[in-house]
């Protein structure tokens, strides 16, 4: 194996921000509830009978954000892996239901790199692999994309040479003037 990497971690910016801010907002909400804030907004909620249920709702909403948004986004990012070996490129997707594709380096004719402004700032990019077949292969959000591309090109250059094809005529003339193999 030459390189093993995952997609650019910038995909985790919003889930990480939510992971940090959600407990802070939940703690603020719980403190506001305990201090009697709901009774000031709605006089019907005066007394302690609503406190437990409001605290439970606040904690439940925080857990919903953490387990329903942050965790799936992290697992989705964790489930994508790009592997470059000396003979092929492998992309693996998924954790429980895994699927992957493998592409022989000998089949690669062109390695392209496309970067948006944000990707260029973060040194990531989309690497496209052209094999001469319709619908090339795309590896989105590869970190250190230029470096990964140079690793691919070096691995292609390091492949053993393909066996030479006999470009001569396979037809030979037999004695007696008959053509054959």
Cα–Cα distance between 145 and 147 in angstroms, integer?
5
Enumerate residues 6+ apart whose C-beta is below 8 A from 10.
118, 122, 124, 141
Clarify whether residues 38 and 87 are in a common domain.
Answer: no
Which of 9-13, 126-130, 145-149, 159-163 shows the lowest per-residue confidence on average (mean pLDDT)? 159-163
Q: Over the chain, what HEC string results?
A: CCEEECCCHHHHHHHHHHHHHHHHHHHHHHHHHHCCHHHHHCHHHCCCCCHHHHHHHHHHHHHHHHHHHHHHHHHHHHCCEEEECCCEEEEEECCCCCEEEEEEHHHCCEEEEECCHHHHHCCEEEEEEECCCCCCEEEEEEECHHHHHHHHHHHHHCCCCCCCCCCCCCCEECCCCCEEC
Task: State which of 16, 43, 78 marks the end of a domain.
Answer: 78
Clarify whether residues 55 and 99 are in a common domain.
Answer: no
Clarify whether residues 88 and 71 are in a common domain.
Answer: no
- Exposure b/e, 127-136, CB count within 10 A at least 16 = b: bebeeeeeee
**Structure confidence at residue 165 as a pLDDT band (50, 70, 90):** low
Enumerate residues 6+ apart whose C-beta is below 8 A from 43.
none
Predicted confidence (pLDDT) per residue in 39-49, tens digit: 777 777 766 77
Domain span holding position 109: 81-157
- Here the CATH number for the domain that contains residue 86 is 2.30.29.30
Clarify whether residues 42 and 97 are in a common domain.
Answer: no
123 within a domain of the structure (yes/no): yes
Clarify whether residues 70 and 101 are in a common domain.
Answer: no
Clarify whether residues 40 and 107 are in a common domain.
Answer: no
Q: What is the pLDDT of residue 47?
A: 66
180 within a domain of the structure (yes/no): no
Predicted confidence (pLDDT) per residue in 71-120, tens digit: 999 999 999 999 999 999 999 998 888 899 999 999 899 999 999 999 99
Count: domains in the chain: 2
Residue 125 has pLDDT above 50, yes or no: yes
1 within a domain of the structure (yes/no): no
Predicted confidence (pLDDT) per residue in 51-64, tens digit: 888 899 999 999 99
Clarify whether residues 85 and 153 are in a common domain.
Answer: yes
Clarify whether residues 22 and 59 are in a common domain.
Answer: yes
């Amino acid at each position: 194996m030459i390189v093993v990497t995952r997609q650019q971690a910038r995909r985790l910016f919003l889930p990480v921000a939510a992971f940090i801010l959600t407990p802070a907002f939940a703690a603020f909400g719980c403190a506001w509830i305990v201090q009697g804030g709901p009774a000031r907004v709605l006089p019907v909620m005066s007394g302690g009978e609503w406190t437990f249920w409001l605290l439970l709702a606040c904690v439940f909403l925080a857990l919903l954000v953490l387990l329903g948004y942050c965790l799936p986004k992290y697992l989705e990012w964790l489930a994508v892996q790009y592997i470059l070996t000396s003979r092929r490129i492998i992309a693996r997707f998924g954790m429980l239901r895994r699927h992957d594709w493998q592409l022989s380096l000998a089949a690669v004719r062109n390695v392209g790199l496309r970067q948006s402004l944000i990707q260029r700032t973060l040194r990531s990019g989309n690497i496209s692999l052209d094999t001469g077949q319709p619908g090339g292969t795309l590896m989105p959000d590869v970190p250190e994309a230029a470096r990964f591309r140079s690793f691919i090109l070096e691995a292609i250059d390091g492949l053993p040479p393909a066996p030479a094809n006999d470009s001569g005529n396979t037809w030979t003339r037999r004695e007696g003037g008959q053509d054959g193999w």
